[in-house]
Amino acid sequence: MRYEDAPDLQKKAEDISRTLFPHVKIERMKCFRSFGSSSRGTIARCHALGKILQRTIGVQAYYALEFISERFDKLDEEEKMKIIMHELMHIPKTFGGGFKHHDFVCERNVNLYYREYKKRKNETRENNLEI
């Protein structure tokens, strides 16, 4: 398994976070592409440094968003955005190292957030054109 920084995905995740998830501490969230995963059917994963390890090494929570390149990079742009949103939705408002589970992070809610994101981006564009 190999990991690479994903600055293109980082930029998208930061924009989504600023627009929809202001509780995400961008400076403590990082995106990676992974290569060579043997997990089947997985497109992306959210990883966190758990509370006990945070206390052990004396740091605050960090989140890593992993996008499995062989599957993720084949998706169209809309699906990529939804996958990024899905992973960001796992990060709770406490930003403490825990996770929101799939009872909340589900296709229905991802689609709701995606529509809200598009709406806000369109409003921003329209406001910028009026200036």
Give the pLDDT of the chain (131 residues) as one tens digit per residue: 999 999 999 999 999 999 999 999 999 999 999 999 988 889 999 999 989 999 999 999 999 999 999 999 999 999 999 999 999 999 999 999 999 999 999 999 999 999 999 999 998 777 776 65
Alpha-carbon distance 95 to 40, whole Å? 29
Q: Write out the E strands in the chain.
A: 2-5, 29-35, 44-48, 63-68
The pLDDT of residue 27: 97
- CA-nearest of 127, 2, 131, 5 to 64 is 5
Q: What is the CATH number of domain 2-130?
A: 3.30.2010
The pLDDT of residue 131: 56
The domains of the chain are located at 2-130
